[in-house]
Amino acid sequence: MIRVKSRCWRCGEVTLSLADIMLVEHGDGDGTFYSFICTTCGDPQAYPADGRFIDFMRMNGTEPVTLHPPIEYKESADNPPLSWDDLLDLHLQLQEDAG
């Protein structure tokens, strides 16, 4: 059985089997990460995966899972962030609707 070493932010170095690791490819181009649940403390971990690690995982039968962001995520990129005036307008509108 192939074992790899990684790090847990809490426990330090941990040893994992390939089945413990999930490759996650971000569909919006933000790269590929590997994630796992620490075998010592049980905390979820996620770290960027470089090309060598991705190739190693693929050679051993692990394909990345591709996550696509929801459409609302892309729509919000075109809109400016809410301002204090926007929040005040919303508050006043809610008061009018309630009263």
- pLDDT at position 51, please? 92
- pLDDT at position 28, please? 75
Bridge partners, residue 69, by sequence: none
Both tokens assigned to 21? 């690791």
Reported as a pLDDT band with limits 50, 70 and 90, residue 77 is low
pLDDT tens-digit series, residues 2-58: 899 999 999 999 999 999 999 999 877 778 999 999 999 999 999 999 999 999 999
Q: pTM value?
A: 0.66
**Burial of 53 by CB count in 10 Å (0-12 exposed, 13-18 middle, 19+ buried)?**
middle
Instruction: Indicate the domain borders of the chain.
Output: 3-70
Both tokens assigned to 58? 């693929």
Q: Tokens 């051993």 correspond to what residue?
A: 60
- pLDDT at position 19, please? 93
